[in-house]
Amino acid sequence: MLKNYFKIAVAVLKRRKFFTFISLFGISFTLTILMVLTAFIQNVIGNDYPDKKRDRSLYISTIEQKGKNAMSSGALSYYFLNKYAATLKSPEKVTIFSGANSTNTYVNNKKISIDYKYVDANYWSVLDYDFLEGKPFDARQIENGEHVAVISEGIKKQYFGDDPSVVGKYIEADNVQYRVSGVVKDVPVTTYMLYSEIYIPYTVSKTDYRNKNYGGGYVAILLGASKADLQKMHDEYEDVIKRVPPENKDFENVYSHAYGYIRSYVNTGNEENSGLTYAITAIAIFALIVMLLPTINLINVNVTRIMERSSEIGVRKAFGASSQTLVYQFIVENLILTLIGGLIGVLLSYIVIQILNSADLIPNFKMSLNFTVLVLALFICLFFGLISGVYPAWRMSKLDVVTALKEQ
């Protein structure tokens, strides 16, 4: 029976090529948008390089202070994190590091933009960078304030060209010469907390990292011995923050939290409005709009197609076909249509992703069609097929035989 339905569906699609084109275009275009968006989000939050221990890590990225007439929020200072996070008992290790800062340097009279960040000794053991050559600088070098650096493979190529090894050579950043101790695999810029092109000791920072302000340009990662330590680390940090005095008389309350990766990634630093809520709401609304409009359009097209087939439906009913059989047939036809559109959408998504990757719009960021994305594509196809086919099929089942035959 399914074979007959398939033949009928193909014949119907060939009969009205314009309606078929509209339907396939709506399905494939919508699917392409959603698949590319899903591939983007999945690569942003699913890429665990270099924080491969993400499942047992908590991230401290913001502090907020509030008073009756004053409010302050943003990243934290090294002083604050060193005093209140690095001294926690429950983490196995704690690393404190800055966000990325930008500077310019010149090679053969060519200007190169470089992003650099300050890190501590624990940074290299809490995180798992892939070293292509050399090794990280150690605690002794950091304590001595040595001008050493770990650089990314991308900046190695830009600055040193095709040199096979650059360990021991010098690179200039922010008008300072640093001796290269190692080269690591590039980190996508979308992993913004960890992204950089040059990693240097925090002790060489031109800004005094010992100032006692609460706000600054640093974040911290708490690493537990196992997943079971996540709640203990979270609770201990919450207890510590409750006892932190406000920075000055303008503020009454201090808020800072140790979150998991995803929540920390979208954290706005606003105690009353979670960034995760904003992100989920925005994605949900976008997906709803993208899917709803083509679905409504497909329903209208299907209703039109049904009305044109009223004589066929009347004849089949006159010869004993039940409404249930006709409904089943039409839904199967619609599923076949959406699956064809889905295959076109997958192909278009692959092409679009390759174009975006080739354009290198986001440094070190590469999207891909993986199992998760393909499963979503299958779900969307089934959604389109069922939702856009149920109402038209119901309309078809209600056609009166006599009225339908008069249309013949």
Looking at residue 334, its amino acid is N
Rounded to the nearest 10 degrees, the angle between the axes of helix 323-359 and helix 275-308 is 130
The helix or strand, by DSSP H or E, that contains position 170, with its residue range, turns out to be strand 170-173
Check: CB of residue 219 under 8 Å from CB of residue 259: no
Tell me: do 82 and 228 sit in the same domain: yes
**Which residues touch 155 (CB under 8 Å, ≥6 apart)?**
112, 114, 171, 197, 198
Looking at the fold, whether 30 and 102 belong to one and the same domain comes out as no
Same domain for 281 and 248: no
User: Based on the domain organization, do 351 and 292 belong to the same domain?
Assistant: yes
Tell me, yes or no, whether 114 and 223 share the same domain.
Answer: yes
> Which domain, by its residues, includes 162?
62-258
In angstroms, the CA 129 to CA 403 distance is 73
Does 88 fall in a domain? yes
User: Which residues does the chain have with pLDDT short of 50?
Assistant: 271, 408
Which of 223, 258, 293 is the endpoint of a domain?
258
CA-based Rg of the chain, rounded to a whole angstrom?
A: 29
Cα–Cα separations (whole angstroms), residue 279 to 43, 201, 284: 16, 34, 9
25-81 pLDDT tens trace: 777 887 788 788 878 877 777 778 999 999 999 999 999 999 888 888 889 999 999
In a domain, 165, yes or no: yes
Which residues neighbour 92 within 8 Å (Cβ) at sequence distance 6 or greater? 223, 224, 225, 229
pLDDT at position 196 is 95
From 242, 268, 236, select the one nearest 255 (Cα to Cα): 242
* Separation between Cα atoms, residue 235 and residue 241, nearest integer Å: 10
Q: Is residue 53 part of a domain?
A: no
Domain match, 81 and 172 both = yes
Per the domain annotation, does 293 fall within a domain? yes
Task: Tell me, yes or no, whether 70 and 173 share the same domain.
Answer: yes
Beta bridge partners of 328: none
Which pair of structure tokens corresponds to residue 92? 């196995």
Instruction: Report residue 288: phi and psi, to 5°.
Output: -65, -45
In this structure, what are the phi and psi dihedrals at residue 149, rounded to the nearest 5 degrees? -150, 145
- Asked if residue 90 is part of any domain, the answer here is yes
Would you give the DSSP letter of residue 47? Answer: -
Pairing of strands 63-66, 253-255: antiparallel
> Could you tell me if 281 and 250 lie in one domain?
no
In a domain, 83, yes or no: yes
Do 256 and 276 form a contact (C-beta atoms < 8 A)? no
Same domain, 154 and 66: yes
Task: Name the domain boundary from 258, 293, 315.
Answer: 258
pLDDT at position 271 is: 47
Residues 108 and 194 in one domain: yes
Q: How far apart are CA 237 and CA 62, in angstroms?
A: 13
271 occurs within a structural domain: no
Residue 164 lies in a domain: yes
Count: domains in the chain? 2
Q: Residue 247 has what DSSP assignment?
A: S
Three-class SS state of 230: helix
Residues 251 and 285 in one domain: no
**pLDDT given for residue 189 in this prediction:** 86
User: What is the pLDDT, as a whole number, of residue 338?
Assistant: 77
The answer to whether residues 171 and 199 belong to one domain is yes
CA atoms within 13 A on the CB side of 16: 16
What pLDDT is stored for residue 15 in this prediction?
A: 67
Domain boundary (202, 224, 258) is at: 258
